[in-house]
């Protein structure tokens, strides 16, 4: 509905439009609350509790093995990875790890190429109190990784 249409309304009709908009906002808030409750239930079913909100960290690394994307989260915590987008400057391979344990296969990338994946569910979980690491062979890497710190 355009502004001119609202201005042409009687006061009673304008109040009705406002009430409808308020109800829509309340329904959206209720849907978000329900979604948060479902997320908490899903995380609990996978063996954890919802801690901090989803976090994303920038990746900007030279070639090397086992470089920390995110440091160890602390006792009783795991890093659950929900997405990543990684780009290489030259041809090489990439692999994500929980400390020294591979969590992805070795992913070949071309020059100025990359890999990306995201999910509403964890793609993988780092072991308790283990850092999320990246091994980049031959190539420098830029990108982003999205994860949640979960209390287990």
Q: How confident is the model at residue 51 (pLDDT cuts 50, 70, 90)?
A: low
Whether 71 and 129 have beta carbons less than 8 Å apart is answered as: no
Q: Is the pLDDT of residue 24 over 70?
A: no
For residue 76, the surrounding DSSP H or E stretch is none
β-strand 55-61 against 101-102: which pairing, if any? unpaired
CA atoms of 141 and 2, how far apart (whole Å): 48
Amino acid 11: pLDDT: 56
Q: Which CATH number fits domain 55-151: 3.40.1360, 1.20.120, 2.60.120, 1.10.10?
A: 2.60.120
Six-digit token pair at 118? 């995201």
Q: Is the pLDDT of residue 20 over 80?
A: no
Six-digit token pair at 81? 């990875």
Q: What does the domain layout of the chain look like in residue ranges?
A: 3-45, 55-151
CA atoms of 48 and 67, how far apart (whole Å): 26
- Chain centroid to CA 125: how far? 13
| Higher per-residue confidence, 148 vs 42 | 148
| DSSP state letter for 106 | -
Amino acid 22: pLDDT: 58
Six-digit token pair at 128? 């308790």
pTM exceeding the 0.75 threshold for the entire prediction: no
CA atoms of 33 and 58, how far apart (whole Å): 29
Six-digit token pair at 95? 């692999």
The share of the chain scoring above pLDDT 70, in percent, equals 66
Q: How many CB atoms lie within 10 A of CB 14?
A: 13
């Amino acid at each position: 509905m355009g502004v001119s249409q609202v201005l042409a309304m009687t006061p009673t009709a304008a109040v009705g439009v406002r009430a409808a908009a308020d109800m829509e906002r309340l329904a959206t808030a209720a849907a978000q609350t329900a979604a948060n409750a479902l997320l908490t239930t899903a995380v609990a079913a996978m063996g954890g509790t919802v801690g901090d909100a989803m976090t994303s960290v920038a990746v900007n690394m030279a070639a090397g093995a086992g470089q920390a994307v995110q440091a160890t989260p602390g006792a009783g915590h795991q890093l659950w990875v929900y997405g990543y987008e990684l780009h290489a400057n030259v041809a090489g391979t990439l692999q994500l790890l929980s400390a020294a344990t591979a969590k992805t296969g070795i992913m070949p990338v071309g020059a100025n190429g990359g890999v990306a994946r995201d999910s509403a569910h964890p793609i993988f979980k780092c072991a308790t109190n283990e850092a999320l690491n990246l091994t980049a062979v031959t190539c420098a890497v830029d990108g982003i990784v999205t994860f949640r710190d979960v209390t287990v």
